[in-house]
Amino acid sequence: MVTYYEIYCRAGLRVMNPLTGILRRKARVSCPMPKNEQVTAVQPAVLKWARESLGLTIVDVAQKLKKSPDIIQSWETGRSFPSYSQLEKLAYDIYKRPIALFFFPKPPEERTHRSEFRTLPDEELENLSSDTHLHIRKAHAYQLSLMEAFDERNPSDDKIWKRLELTPGKSIQRQAQMIREFLGITLEEQSSWSKPEIALKKWREKIEAKGVFIFKESFKQKEISGFCLSHNEFPVIYLNNSTTSTRQIFSLLHELAHLLFQVNGITKEDDDYIKNLPAKEKKLEQFCNAIAAEILIPESDFLKRCANIEGSLESLPDSFYSEIAQAYSVSREVILRKFFEYGKVTPKFYKQKSSEWSAQMKKRGGGNWYSTHASYLSSTFTREVFRKYERRVYSDTKAAELLGIHPKNLEGLEAKLLTGASN
């Protein structure tokens, strides 16, 4: 059955990047009717669907448009209609959808988050912000771009999700070691990474080499760590760059575990939500957490390192946790969590120190745009787009569309990619 999903998803990637202005100007020039005249061809059901698909209320939209909620409701029930200029603002500024979508006879078929993600309780899915909805939609758009760029075939000859299979009932230690060996990362190499930013880059490179495409972006909904989209050829992991590098590493490995189960996943930094999941999903999330932790900090090595500790762990200075964390290129919180799981520290102490350290590690903003955007994109994907651009398979407009940037930024982004700026 043919659906409109691919049409608006790909167009949606464009309206979420700097090309928005170009698209809107073109729309204004070609508009066949006066700007203030009601657009009666707009479908009320599509207006309502577009709002609800972003988790927005009628009041939310009214506030963004500076209109009465009654007006928004009247548009969604067909009692009145927006003007073309109002429809433009709805489409491009609020719903981030191509304007043609609102003239469809009915809402396009689209995956719902409730059917797509089973690793968050329903109430958590209902509380996803519009920004998080947009990131999920953008990840789907990237998957379409990946299919196009690679002619629907993953370039990796060693796809990790086709070679490895996880089983909850089997040894976590053995399965984590199996993943480590497949990625080719030894403890010696890991301990040589001097900074978390380097560690993140290395883990990412190794996982991308095994066929998984990793994107990042800063989420407004800070508590979301990231998510993944399973796919037979183009699985995607999407990380929240607003979190620290150490948190991103753990999230990366947690989402990799989801992909090895062939499921989509979305996770929060605070894992208290797990206790509200149904039994099957709860077991899966606990297992993914355990696998990620074991990959990062193999239990046998950790126990050796901590064998001679004397006295109460809660009386030791923060530097004690920092030293162990540095050996694995992880956060102090990950080390503290290991001790908590072994029953060496109380829940109260764990919560207190986790909150304290989290406050200390808030990321700073700013930085070079090209370096930042290079780090947001999958390096495997970006290199392929630029390869086809250099061979003139893609025009500058086409290459920019796939990468979600303005054509004028192609040259600068390519330069940063060549210098290895992404992480």
Tens of pLDDT along 180-211?
Answer: 999 999 999 998 998 889 999 999 999 999 99
Q: Which one has a higher pLDDT value, 79 or 337?
A: 79
Read out DSSP for 273-334? GGGGS-HHHHHHHHHHHHHHHHHHS-HHHHHHHTTT--S-GGGS-HHHHHHHHHHHT--HHH
Task: Give the lowest-confidence range in 154-158, 244-248, 286-290, 419-423.
Answer: 419-423
Mean pLDDT of the region 370-381: 90
Mean pLDDT of the region 26-37: 55
Predicted pLDDT of residue 217: 94
Predicted pLDDT of residue 178: 96
- The yes-or-no verdict on residue 232 having pLDDT over 70 is yes
Predicted pLDDT of residue 327: 87
Which residue type does 143 have? Q
What residues contact residue 142 under an 8 Å CB cut-off, 6+ apart? 13, 213, 215, 236, 378, 381, 404
- The yes-or-no verdict on residue 26 having pLDDT over 70 is no
What residues contact residue 88 under an 8 Å CB cut-off, 6+ apart? 24, 27, 28, 99
Q: Which one has a higher pLDDT value, 35 or 177?
A: 177
Predicted pLDDT of residue 18: 32
- The yes-or-no verdict on residue 134 having pLDDT over 80 is yes
Distance CA 309, CA 303 (A): 10
Main-chain phi, psi angles of 226, to 5 degrees:
160, -175
- The yes-or-no verdict on residue 23 having pLDDT over 50 is no
Predicted pLDDT of residue 422: 55
Predicted pLDDT of residue 5: 41
Residue 137: closest CA among 97, 104, 108:
97
pLDDT band, residue 34 (cuts 50/70/90): low
- The yes-or-no verdict on residue 76 having pLDDT over 50 is yes
- Structure tokens belonging to residue 393: 């398979």
Predicted pLDDT of residue 33: 58
DSSP-assigned beta bridge partners for residue 216: 239
- Residue with tokens 């070609």, as numbered in its chain: 30
Q: What is the pTM of this model?
A: 0.87
Read out DSSP for 228-277? EE--SS--EEEEETTS-HHHHHHHHHHHHHHHHTT--EEEESSGGGGGGS
Predicted pLDDT of residue 338: 87
Handedness of CA 76, 81, 86, 92 (dihedral sign): positive
Task: Give the lowest-confidence range in 13-17, 101-105, 349-353.
Answer: 13-17
Predicted pLDDT of residue 135: 94
Question: What whole-number percentage of the chain has pLDDT above 90?
Answer: 57
The domain spans of the chain are 5-103, 122-296, 369-418
Taking all residues of the chain, what is their mean pLDDT, rounded to a whole number? 86
Main-chain phi, psi angles of 222, to 5 degrees:
-60, -30
- The yes-or-no verdict on residue 168 having pLDDT over 90 is no
- The yes-or-no verdict on residue 166 having pLDDT over 80 is yes
pLDDT band, residue 359 (cuts 50/70/90): confident
38: helix, strand or coil: strand
Query: Cβ(282)–Cβ(289) under 8 Å?
Result: no
CATH topology of domain 5-103: 434 Repressor (Amino-terminal Domain) (1.10.260)
Q: What is the pLDDT of residues 254-303, one digit of tens each?
A: 999 999 999 999 999 888 889 889 899 999 999 999 999 999 999 999 98
Task: Give the lowest-confidence range in 20-24, 141-145, 363-367, 416-420.
Answer: 20-24
- Cα 190-259-169 angle, rounded to 5 deg: 85
13: helix, strand or coil: helix
86: helix, strand or coil: helix
